[in-house]
């Protein structure tokens, strides 16, 4: 394997979509495919994306704004938000991911944020997996 670059990749699943900009990968010198930069990279990227996104804070039975702690339930305006993330992974691998998710905008401070649920987290992970496949990435 030799050093290479991934193609730009996109993936979508139900309520989540992602765009992954080109990044360093391992490539077959005969053009037979590309591999993750290191074996655990795919799972680590999924976790890093979820941790980097602004998710409303659950509190009791409601959600609070991640920025000003105002209640969001029933008060914010729903829509889609795009979140560009520049992530630095192990072994110096940098990757830029833009996630598009349903969001609620805080009526008090205007911060767009997603309400994290098991379904949304699964949709996001499935969108990333679809993008990996679209790029031809293999573990």
Distances (CA, A) of 67 to 12, 48, 55, 64, 118: 27, 20, 10, 9, 22
Q: What would the mean pLDDT of 88-115 be, rounded to a whole number?
A: 92
Structure tokens at 88: 């630095």
Tell me what percent of the residues of the chain surpass a pLDDT of 70: 97
3-state secondary structure at position 106: coil
Q: Could you state, in order of their start, the residue ranges of all structural domains in the chain?
A: 2-138
Least Cα distance to 6 among 42, 51, 40 occurs for 42
Beta-bridged to residue 96, according to DSSP, are 86
**How far is CA 24 from its chain centroid?**
18
Each residue of 107-129: pLDDT tens digit?
A: 899 899 987 778 999 999 999 99
Beta-bridged to residue 79, according to DSSP, are 103
Q: What is the pLDDT of residue 118?
A: 80
Give the DSSP per-residue string, 8-50.
PEEEEETTEEEEE---EEEE-TTSS-EE-SSTTHHHHHHHHHH
Q: What is the pLDDT of residue 77?
A: 61
Mean pLDDT of the chain: 90
Q: Note the pTM of the prediction, 2 decimals.
A: 0.88
**Cα–Cα distance between 66 and 57 in angstroms, integer?**
6
Each residue of 29-39: pLDDT tens digit?
A: 888 889 999 99
């Amino acid at each position: 394997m030799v050093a290479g670059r991934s193609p730009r990749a996109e993936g979508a699943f139900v309520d989540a979509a992602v765009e992954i900009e080109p990044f360093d990968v391992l490539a077959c010198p005969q053009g037979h495919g590309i591999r993750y930069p290191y074996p655990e990279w795919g799972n680590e990227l999924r976790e890093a994306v979820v941790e980097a996104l602004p998710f409303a804070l659950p509190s009791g039975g409601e959600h609070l704004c991640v920025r000003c702690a105002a209640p969001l339930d029933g008060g914010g305006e729903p829509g889609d938000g795009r979140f560009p993330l520049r992530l630095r992974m192990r072994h110096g691998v940098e990757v830029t991911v833009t996630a598009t998710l349903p969001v609620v905008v805080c009526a008090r401070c205007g911060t767009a944020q997603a309400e994290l649920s098991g379904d949304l987290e699964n949709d996001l992970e499935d969108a990333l997996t679809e993008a990996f496949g679209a790029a031809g990435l293999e573990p």
